[in-house]
Amino acid sequence: MEVSKDIETLLDTLESGHIILDGDYKVTFWNRWLCINTQIDKRDILGKDLFEIFPSIDAAILKRKIATSFLLSTPTFYDSNRKEPLIPIKRNKVTSGSLEMMQQQVTISPCNMEQKAVMINIYDISEVHEAKILLARQMKKVKALNTLLESQQDLIDKNIIMARVSLDGTMVDVSSKLCNFFGYEKEELLGEKISLLGSSKIPEGIFSELWSRVLGGESWSGELANLTKKHELKWVLLKIDPVFDGDGKLKEFSAFYSDITNKKLLEELYIRDPLTKIYNRAHFDKHFNSLFGDQRKTSTPSALVIIDIDHFKKINDTYGHQTGDEALIVVASILEHSIRSEDMVARWGGEEFVMLLKNVSKDEAIEIAQKLRSKIKEANFASSLTLTCSFGLTLFGSSDDPIESFKRADDALYEAKNGGRDRVVFK
Amino acid sequence: MSFAFNEDQLDILREVMNISLGETTANIAQLLGAFGTMHIPEVDIISSKDLQAFIGRDLSPKEDYHVTKQLFSGHFGGEVIFIISKESSLNLAKNMFQAPTTTEDEINDSVMELTNIVTSTIVSRLAAELDVTVQFFAPTSAIMKCVEIVDEEVLSYSTVIVLKTIVDFQDENIVGNIFVLTKDEAIQKLKDLLDKKLEELFA
**Contact yes or no for A426/A301 (Cβ under 8 A):** no
Question: CB A77 to CB B121 under 8 A?
Answer: no
Average pLDDT for B70-96: 85
pLDDT digit string, tens, across residues A106-164: 999 998 888 889 999 999 998 888 888 888 889 899 999 998 988 888 888 899 999 99
Look at residue B35 and tell me whether its pLDDT is greater than 70.
no
CA A368 to the chain's CA centroid = 48
At B40 the pLDDT is 64
Specify if B1 maps to a domain.
no
Look at residue A182 and tell me whether its pLDDT is greater than 90.
yes
Distance CA A142, CA A126 (A): 24
At B133 the pLDDT is 86
Q: How many domains does chain B have?
A: 1
A411 membership: H or E segment, kind and range: helix A402-418
What ipTM is given for this predicted complex? 0.81
Look at residue B179 and tell me whether its pLDDT is greater than 70.
yes
Closest to A258 (Cα-Cα) out of A187, A159, A186: A159
Task: Give percent of chain B above pLDDT 90.
Answer: 1
- pTM given for the model: 0.57
Distance CA A32, CA B70 (A): 30
Specify if B30 maps to a domain.
yes
H helices of A298-394, in order, are: 312-319, 321-338, 362-378
Chain B positions with Cβ closer than 8 Å to A: 27, 30-32, 104-105, 108-109, 112-113, 116-117, 120-121, 124, 136, 138-141
**CB nearest B31 (choices: A71, A80, A84):** A71
Burial class (CB in 10 A: 0-12, 13-18, 19+), A264: middle
- Phi/psi of residue A198, nearest 5 degrees: -75, 165
Question: CB A68 to CB B109 under 8 A?
Answer: no
Higher local confidence (pLDDT), A384 or A233:
A233
Q: Which of A290-299, A334-343, B12-21 is modeled with the greatest confidence?
A: A334-343
Confidence band for B85, pLDDT divided at 50, 70 and 90? confident
Question: CB B140 to CB A80 under 8 A?
Answer: yes
pLDDT digit string, tens, across residues B73-82: 887 888 888 8
Specify if B2 maps to a domain.
no
A196 membership: H or E segment, kind and range: none
In the three-class reduction of DSSP (H, G, I as helix; E, B as strand; rest coil), residue A304 is classed as: strand
**Contact yes or no for A210/A218 (Cβ under 8 A):** no
Q: What is the mean pLDDT of chain A?
A: 89
Average pLDDT for A334-361: 92
Pick from B117, B125, B133 the residue to mutate for testing the A interface (most A CBs within 10 Å).
B117
DSSP B3-46: ----HHHHHHHHHHHHHHHHHHHHHHHHHTT----EEEEEEEEE
At B198 the pLDDT is 84
A286 Cβ contact list (under 8 Å, min separation 6): none
Confidence band for A203, pLDDT divided at 50, 70 and 90? low
At A202 the pLDDT is 66
Burial class (CB in 10 A: 0-12, 13-18, 19+), A395: buried
Among A302-306, A311-315, B14-18, B31-35, the minimum mean pLDDT is found in B31-35
Query: What single letter denotes the amino acid at residue A16?
Result: S
Provide the number of CB pairs (under 8 Å) joining chain A to chain B: 52
Higher local confidence (pLDDT), B35 or B186:
B186
Give the domain CATH number at B42. Answer: 3.40.1550.10
A130 Cβ contact list (under 8 Å, min separation 6): A95, A97, A98, A99, A103
pLDDT digit string, tens, across residues A268-326: 888 999 899 999 999 998 888 877 766 556 667 889 999 999 999 998 898 889 999 99
Confidence band for A3, pLDDT divided at 50, 70 and 90? confident
Q: In the beta sheet, which residues pair with residue B175?
A: B166
Name the DSSP letter for residue B49.
G
Question: CB B112 to CB A61 under 8 A?
Answer: no
At B107 the pLDDT is 87
Pick from B112, B117, B118, B145 the residue to mutate for testing the A interface (most A CBs within 10 Å).
B112
Higher local confidence (pLDDT), A253 or A82:
A253
At A41 the pLDDT is 94
Distance CA A59, CA A65 (A): 10
Distance CA A122, CA A87 (A): 9
Instruction: Give the residue numbers spanning the domain of B14.
Output: 7-202
B71 Cβ contact list (under 8 Å, min separation 6): B77, B78, B79, B136, B137
Specify if B143 maps to a domain.
yes
Which is it for the CA torsion A334, A338, A341, A343, positive or negative?
Answer: negative
pLDDT digit string, tens, across residues A118-130: 999 999 998 888 8
Query: What single letter denotes the amino acid at residue A19?
Result: I
Average pLDDT for A383-406: 88
Look at residue A228 and tell me whether its pLDDT is greater than 90.
yes
pLDDT digit string, tens, across residues A16-42: 999 999 999 999 999 999 999 999 999
Helix pair angle (A312-319, A321-338), 10° resolution: 140
At B200 the pLDDT is 81
Look at residue B39 and tell me whether its pLDDT is greater than 90.
no
Look at residue B166 and tell me whether its pLDDT is greater than 70.
no
Average pLDDT for A92-116: 81
Look at residue B169 and tell me whether its pLDDT is greater than 70.
no
Question: Nearest residue on chain A to B98, judged by CA atoms?
Answer: A60
CA A291 to the chain's CA centroid = 37
Distance CA A111, CA B182 (A): 29
Higher local confidence (pLDDT), B87 or A348:
A348
Question: CB A81 to CB B141 under 8 A?
Answer: yes
Look at residue A241 and tell me whether its pLDDT is greater than 60.
yes
A180 membership: H or E segment, kind and range: helix A176-182
Burial class (CB in 10 A: 0-12, 13-18, 19+), B147: exposed
At A204 the pLDDT is 66
pLDDT digit string, tens, across residues B96-135: 777 777 788 888 888 888 888 888 888 888 888 888 888 8
Closest to A19 (Cα-Cα) out of A31, A2, A33, A4: A31
Specify if B26 maps to a domain.
yes
**Contact yes or no for A376/A338 (Cβ under 8 A):** no
Question: CB A67 to CB B31 under 8 A?
Answer: yes
At A96 the pLDDT is 58
Domains and their CATH numbers in chain A: 5-124 (3.30.450.20), 160-265 (3.30.450.20), 272-426 (3.30.70.270)
At B37 the pLDDT is 65
Confidence band for A400, pLDDT divided at 50, 70 and 90? confident
Confidence band for B178, pLDDT divided at 50, 70 and 90? confident
Query: What single letter denotes the amino acid at residue B44?
Result: D
R_g of chain A, CA atoms, integer Å: 46
Look at residue A240 and tell me whether its pLDDT is greater than 90.
yes
**CB nearest A74 (choices: B30, B108, B136):** B136
At A295 the pLDDT is 55
Burial class (CB in 10 A: 0-12, 13-18, 19+), B38: buried
**Contact yes or no for B9/B161 (Cβ under 8 A):** no
Confidence band for A367, pLDDT divided at 50, 70 and 90? very high
Confidence band for A189, pLDDT divided at 50, 70 and 90? very high
